[in-house]
Amino acid sequence: MAIVILKPNTEFSVGKIVCVGRNYAEHISEMSAEKPSDPVLFLKPSTAILNEGQQIKIPSFSHEVHHEIELALLISREAKAIKASDWTNYVTGAGIALDLTLRDHQSAAKKKGLPWSVSKGFDGACPIGSFVPLKDLNNIDELKIELYVNNKLRQAGNTNQMIFSPGKLVEYISSIFTLEPGDIVLTGTPSGVGPIIKGDEIRGTIENLGEIVFKVS
């Protein structure tokens, strides 16, 4: 059973992980995609969770794994068709996560018009850190985001660059999927995504949330 921690020591059993694609304009450009009129959603299973202290393992069936750093939201109450203005009543914490993507599998699936669950949902596809209580944050819409690979900056952005804010995302997602305690929402990644290989060290930081560090085995 996958577990995440809300600081200082509250455990949540992870349910589903609802991920948002194309939520930063520059990332949309680098992926040669179109700006969406509604949030683009996909799912990761709870088995994708990889907690700090564990190593990222590149699947034997992929030769191109990309990093994507994201602000993560932890759901604490059942949320169904809620309003954006009420979203903080259903989210208990914010954290740092990686949306690892098997880009070779995703590209092949897209060309064939097939789903790309394998590329996003494989075991360990969601490295994640502990969550900071939302009540301790007063500027979630203005957080600096950075990702380093072997101490070299790869991704840099700010949550103020999101096309759909956290409130809008929770509103939209809850109109489709009932969100339950322990569910996680990944809010999209800024530009700069790129490959990782065996031996790399990945360090992700989000302002006021600390950092996560994972090594690739």
pLDDT given for residue 51 in this prediction? 98
DSSP helix/strand/coil, 161: helix
pLDDT given for residue 168 in this prediction? 98
Q: What is the pLDDT of residues 77-124, one digit of tens each?
A: 999 999 999 999 999 999 999 999 999 999 999 999 999 999 999 999
Measured in residues, the chain has a length of 217
Residues with Cβ within 8 Å of 5's Cβ and at least 6 positions away in sequence, in order, are 11, 12, 130, 131
Q: Which domain holds residue 61?
A: 3-215
pLDDT given for residue 56 in this prediction? 98
pTM exceeding 0.95 = yes
CA dist list (Å): 56 to 46, 65, 103: 16, 11, 16
Q: What is the pLDDT of residues 18-51, one digit of tens each?
A: 999 999 988 877 777 788 899 999 999 999 999 9
Residues 79/170, Cβ–Cβ less than 8 Å: yes
CATH number at residue 129: 3.90.850.10
Structure tokens belonging to residue 167 = 């409130």
